[in-house]
């Protein structure tokens, strides 16, 4: 199973009054990880969209394990854990690079839809994309 790593540095604007990263930022970081994961597979999100394949979020979750602070260097580890012709799930772990502390872990589930937001069977409609994604999960 492929795992992608995306590095980031916590910006001041991402912290709250207590100096800890605000919980809302983790989902943006999950998106950064997912985009990097797909790019590592040889496909860009924008290329998928040009083919008429969109990935709206249908479910998400996050468990916060430890606080991250301003200027912490973090790594978003992303894995695709479930893939079907109509949906996909990614799991994430956010780790502080300096000491390996698990900061947060979460998941997002997405449907494959067309530009009219109708479900798409990616295996039938875009077999080349299916093959790329399917290889990553094996």
Q: Which residues are marked as active site? A: 16
Could you identify the residue written with the tokens 């979020």? 57
**Quick check: 106 and 26 in contact, CB under 8 A?**
yes
Two tokens at 24? 């809302």
Helix (H) or strand (E) holding 96: strand 87-96
107's CB contacts (< 8 A; 6+ apart) are 59, 60, 61, 81, 89, 90, 91, 92
CA-to-CA distance for 127 and 94, rounded, in angstroms? 32
């Amino acid at each position: 199973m492929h795992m992608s790593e995306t590095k980031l540095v916590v910006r001041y604007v991402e912290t709250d009054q207590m100096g800890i990263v605000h919980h809302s930022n983790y989902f943006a970081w999950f998106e950064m990880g997912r985009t990097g994961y797909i790019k590592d597979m040889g496909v860009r999100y924008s290329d998928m969209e040009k083919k008429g394949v969109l990935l709206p979020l249908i479910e998400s979750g996050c468990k916060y394990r430890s606080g991250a602070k301003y200027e912490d260097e973090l790594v978003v580890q992303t894995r695709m854990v479930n893939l079907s012709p109509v949906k996909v799930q990614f799991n994430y772990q956010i780790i502080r690079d300096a000491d390996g502390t698990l900061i947060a872990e979460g998941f997002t589930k997405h449907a494959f839809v067309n530009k009219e937001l109708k479900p798409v069977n990616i295996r039938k409609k875009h077999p080349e994309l299916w093959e790329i994604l399917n290889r990553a999960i094996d």
